[in-house]
Amino acid sequence: MLTGGGNGTGFSDRDLSRILASPGFANSPRLSRLLRYLVERAQAGEPNDLKESVIGVLVFDREPGFDPRADSIVRSSARQLRYKLEEYYRTAGAGDPWRVELPKGSYVPLFQQVGEGRTESPAEAASAPPATRPSWMAFGLAAAAMGIAAMAGTVAWAVRAPSSHPAERMADAAAQMDAASTEAFIRAKRLARDRTEAGLREAAGLFEQIVARYPGFAPGHAGLANALCVLIGNGLPSQPGEAVRAEQAARRAVALDPLLPEAHAALGQVLDNRWEWPEALAAFQHAAELDPSNAQPRFRMAVVLVELERFDEALSELRRAQWLDPHWRALPGAVAEVLLYQRRNQEALKEALAIRRHFPEDGLSYLLEAKARRRLGDWKGACQAWRGLRAASRGDQSTEAMAEALLLQCGGRAGEARQLLIDRAARLSHWIVAAAATELGDAELTVDSVERAVAAREPDSVCARFDPAFDFVRDHPRFRKAVAGIPAPPPKPIAAVR
């Protein structure tokens, strides 16, 4: 017998729980979440909730207005889910009396009775996970779901959906969120994702407000740690005590929700900023294991692999992250940067121009283009790219200062360019000044700034160890001494999650 959704199906909560507790699903929280949602909405007889645009918002945390034509996350996940179900019924679920299928081209599951199947022992019945059935509009950490509730003027509840891991079935509520807080959370996530200085500052402030109102909301603490870590790690101006605050927030997130991937990723960023690379990589690996379809841990793993000078592995992780989230603009920029480190300048230029086609206002693409063109000997093209960088800086102090200095250099005013960087050094990190000084070809300012950056343990200063931009000062005694203060990569390779 093959039936569609509806309350009359014989497929029970215990059938669903058995699937979710199997190894293939226990290790894939996102596919488990998708399967649970599809089954519950189908059995509730609500076909309107089984549209691709709705699934993207409620299951995959996309924002209201999600366009499936521009983002294939729902289709690709459904395809993976079909494979997982087929594998389950070939192995652990071969004796199940009822089966759930997801037909191609549809998000409405079908339930098929295949026989009496196996008989569950009393011990199995007693040890089986409880068959909780949370309402997806009332429960769940989906930021977009909370946003829908906020727009409707209702109260949204923010709790972690029950885990599919057999040892951890989480169904207790974490916090009650009002409409204003849910809107703030969605805005903060979006701002942090864009990774501009102004956006990160605003995001950190919003996350602070959220965790002050709801101290038990783990994603809020993880978001705060992430925003602060990106500010610190990218050489952007930071305030005293922000590194400590980031660590407190990350550890609080992990303590509140040990199964939240973003919490472990945030802790990994804290450790990465402290140059504790093996520990950081382990944290990102754990985050990736908790949610294999989440691009963020893959991206962060790639950053650590670069710092360990394992560039090919870093590129592999970045390509995986791009497959998982093709619309995250930070990823192609990271690919181009790794190519520059590998001296693959023509390929880096191609990547930078590709970023421009997809994200015309992205300032990073101009910076990467300028670096690639300069290394290829195209000084005129580099100057044009720096003009684009200044236009795209959007008030970002660090980008603005670098662009203005480099344009002065293009005009043959090297002395003024140097003085501009010195005058603004108090508002910039030492590493930003060092990076700009390399583009000016100013050896003395480069070495001075690297010395200060390493002494302050600015996270990005590790790049001086391998970035070709510093080749012209590589033999400078003070530069060699400064770089010697950066920990060397551990001799034994650390395997990344596959």
Q: Each residue of 99-139: pLDDT tens digit?
A: 899 888 888 888 888 765 443 333 333 344 433 333 222 22
Q: Which helix (H) or strand (E) holds 2?
A: strand 2-3
Alpha-carbon distance of 201 to 410, in angstroms, equals: 32
Q: What is the pLDDT of residues 355-364, one digit of tens each?
A: 888 777 778 8
Half-sphere exposure of 22 (CA within 13 A, CB side): 21
Under the banding of pLDDT at 50, 70 and 90, the label for residue 200 is: confident
392 — pLDDT class (breaks 50, 70, 90):
confident
Coil, strand or helix at 472: helix
Kindly tell me the burial class for residue 287, based on how many C-beta atoms sit within 10 Å of its own C-beta (0-12, 13-18, 19 or more): buried
pLDDT, tens digit, for every residue of 44-95?
A: 777 677 888 888 888 887 877 778 888 888 988 898 898 889 889 988 888 8
Helix (H) / strand (E) element for 165: namely none
Q: Phi/psi class of residue 188: alpha, beta or left (left: φ > 0; alpha: ψ in -120 to 50)? A: alpha
Global model pTM greater than 0.75? no
Query: What percent of the chain is modeled with pLDDT above 70?
Result: 81
Of the candidates 268, 64, 203, the residue with the CA atom closest to the CA atom of residue 146: 64
**Tens digits of residue pLDDT in 284-300:** 999 988 888 788 899 99
Q: Which of 233, 228, 301 is nearest to 261 (CA)?
A: 301
pLDDT score, position 236: 60
Closest-CA residue to 439 (of 360, 388, 339, 370): 370
Give the pLDDT band of residue 394 (cuts 50, 70, 90): low
Tokens read off for 226:
């992430």
Residues 228-250: pLDDT tens digits?
A: 988 887 656 566 688 899 999 99
DSSP 60-79: T-PPTT--TTT--HHHHHHH
